[in-house]
Structure 1
């Protein structure tokens, strides 16, 4: 007759190495299930809390308003537009390019030309037209070198929520735009060229502002500091002046450093904004040129003649202005320009 002790040894008993292997397989399963997230155990615990009705656990983090949610995959969104947003398109609002009474300003005849506000471009350029803005995409740099749009006072007020949107590849860029993941852990913000705050009247246009064709690598303290300050000033002026034409972009050139996992996205050293105000017979133009770095200087110190921006970018701004008027506006010095724009 076998002793009880020998009988027990024949039964199933987990040894130490078996427990270790089970724990390792459990962790591997968590990583696979949660898509390789760096904190799968936290994600698993949050799911358990949701199942039992306790809600997700959260960690206290400083909110960064310039970091919108990233898509789970680097593909362009093909989700249909909600019917409730189908009518918030600029096409259903008074259009300044067609109706001068929309702003109360009196238009010049040259403003009525097709694509008046666009810089000069060639037929083979990648011109991308969205509802809120138009841009020229430069595949060699994986970003736009200019973004142009009219900015009216009613467009910067509204309840469009940027927190609802995600950075997405631009579906209209035939060669493929940069991807959100190209910026991940690069040390640079996904900086808007045409800011989301300029389209608050429309959720559709706010969504389009998160296309990666409208994004450029910006130093965090630049994007959240002096660049944001300039964007807010432009909106303030748009309200004051009942509308402006805005052209903005990076200074792109060969030899720039790059970031990116799948695409080589150039990191610009400088950014510019060019603004034009028209209310016949009044007209004025101003240009800003800023380095991609933090600054506590006054925005006045970044005002430069527009023809200086043209020289370093190779871009011809507002080519449909009469030549003599274009030369006069673009050659004005800082003192004359700041007096006209900052005096009231």
Structure 2
């Protein structure tokens, strides 16, 4: 009888242990499910409709936090190395993202027409040229923000080109996060706070954080206090087309302060404190 009493005594504890293991097993995939979130999930986005303004969309080509109020991404994060680059032409198939939860408005490829703002890619088309499928995925409207043409086609585009040059010509691997913040931008038709009859909000600023790894495949372990991190914060406005992107360099800490996000959260805090305070000067 003592044996059974002892077993009955242990049973509740075994239940707690099993439940803990089960919960851990359920949570683990969310932490490691995307190569594009190697450096962290800046806003703790989750694929749960209870959080419509911080909804995680994890795609093969990039990951993003979608905001169902602003109807633009809070941020988009992606890996860039030579394996993503090839000779696939630009697909230009701007379209709604049908993977959004049922009942949510799906921004249409035509919603930016006449607004004075570009359909501004976060993950650039030219960063996904290895296959037609991967290039086409960058034209989903959940990967877009309303971007002033002079911003999008000027210093923003030049930084995108520079980033690819680091990969192609120097063999680097990049982890890139970009987005916008604030309210109201100035496009070719003047200042607007929303477009598409109020459906889509226009950010005042565009930002980007780029972690430059010398050794592709090294992941978080490849980040040291010497790792180069490029961070920029640009006005979402006209009149900056000829500006050098380097004039908009800031610290990661500065962007965190302006957005409330926690970048590079998978990197040790001792390393973060060094590289996030530094402003790139190369």
Shift of 1:212: 0.4
Does residue 291 of the first structure (1) align with residue 253 of the second (2)? no
List alignment gaps of at least 5 residues for structure 1.
1-96, 99-111
Deviation at 1:193, TM superposition (A): 0.8
Q: Encode CA deviations 1:3-44: one digit per residue, 9 max, x unaligned.
A: xxxxxxxxxxxxxxxxxxxxxxxxxxxxxxxxxxxxxxxxxx
Q: 1:254 to 1:291 in 2, by over 3 A?
A: closer
Question: Partner of 1:275 in structure 2?
Answer: 210
CA RMSD of aligned residues (A): 2.5
Q: Does the aligned pair in 2 maintain the 1:192–1:210 contact within 8 Å? A: yes
Q: Could you tell me how far apart the structure 1 residues matched to 2:45 and 2:244 are?
A: 36
TM-score scaled by length of structure 1 = 0.60
Q: SS of the counterpart of 1:167?
A: coil
- TM-score under structure 2 length normalisation: 0.73
Larger Rg: 1
**Does residue 258 in structure 1 map to residue 181 in structure 2?**
no
Q: Is the contact made by 2:231 and 2:249 (CA closer than 8 Å) also made in structure 1?
A: yes
Correspondence list, 1:9-20, <5 A: none
Q: Classify 1:122/1:227 alpha carbon distance in 2 versus 1 (closer, same or farther; 3 Å).
A: closer
- Do structure 1's residue 225 and structure 2's residue 187 form an aligned pair? no
Question: Which residue pairs with 1:118 in the alignment?
Answer: 41
Q: SS of the residue aligned with 1:181? A: coil
Please state whether the residue corresponding to 1:232 is helix, strand or coil. helix
Aligned match of 2:138:
209
Work out whether residues 146 and 202 of structure 2, in 8 Å CA contact, stay in contact via their aligned partners in 1.
Answer: yes
- Change over 3 Å in CA distance of 1:206–1:259 after alignment to 2: same
Q: Is the 8 A contact 1:141 1:252 kept in 2?
A: no
Mapped contact 2:95–2:139 kept (Cα < 8 A): yes
| Structure with the higher fraction of residues in strand conformation | 2
Pair 1:330-2:276 in alignment = yes
Q: Deviations over 1:102-146 (max 9, x none)?
A: xxxxxxxxxx99744432414443100111100000111110011
**1:172–1:197 CA distance, 2 compared to 1 (3 A):** same
The structural deviation recorded for 1:253 is: 5.0
For structure 2, the residue ranges without an aligned partner over 5 or more in a row are 1-31, 186-191, 216-221
For the 8 Å contact 1:181–1:260, the answer to whether it is kept is: no
Q: 1:1-344, aligned counterparts within 5 Å?
A: 115-123=38-46, 124=51, 125-156=54-85, 158-162=86-90, 164-174=91-101, 175-239=104-168, 240-253=170-183, 257-261=193-197, 264-278=199-213, 279=215, 280=222, 283-293=227-237, 294-295=239-240, 296-332=242-278, 334=279, 337-338=280-281, 342=282
Q: Displacement, 1:241?
A: 4.1
Following the alignment from structure 1 to structure 2, what is the Cα–Cα distance between the partners of residues 152 and 131?
14
SS at match of 1:182: coil
